[in-house]
Structure 1
Amino acid sequence: MSPSTNTDAITATSSSSCTSSLRLYDGTYYTGAVLYLRGRWQWFNLADYGFDQRTSSYVIGACSAWFADWTNGGGSWYPTSLTEAYDVAPTMSGGWDNDVSSVYMT
């Protein structure tokens, strides 16, 4: 299954945006609600968008990203080698399903 556009979507941007969005999906294989993030150089706390601890798959856009277990980059980090520009994951790495609370885009 390939990533697709979902009608149940939320978009967050900032003054410095990436040329393409990071997409976080509530379901595996790019299904369910989707959160689009484009802002760079800041932590996005996913609870602010109703997406805390909900990520089950993702599509990285043109900017690499860091995923953290807690708000503001706290706690454990998802392997950054799996969240570089244009990476995709139909499922999360072991132990990380529904466990991301904040995202930083470089």
Structure 2
Amino acid sequence: MSTNQIHVQITVPAGVTLTAELPGRASADQIRTALNRLTEAVIAYQHGPQPDAVPGDEDTLAAVRALPREADGFVNVNKVRTTLGCNRNRAVRLLAEVGLLRPADAAKHLSN
């Protein structure tokens, strides 16, 4: 760490460390912003995700069911990923749950 840097470190109970580093000549606004972001991260860590922040599976499954089908009657995994903004594993799980996962995709992604 350089001597002309401001280093702020907060460790929360589970041993997770949150860090902010600023140039030594940081303005009061830059310092305030960094501390506010660290405070928000600590609060988010302590309280976990907010229930209203992420749609529940029922809402998400309804959105998957509403997606347009391809010619073979199935929905493309990447279509789910881009439309819902989820990762591949969740897209595959959701498609499988509603019965819209292409058999070739099921063999590829669910074989583990």
Q: TM (normalized to structure 2)?
A: 0.23
Higher share in strand: 1
| Rg larger for | 2
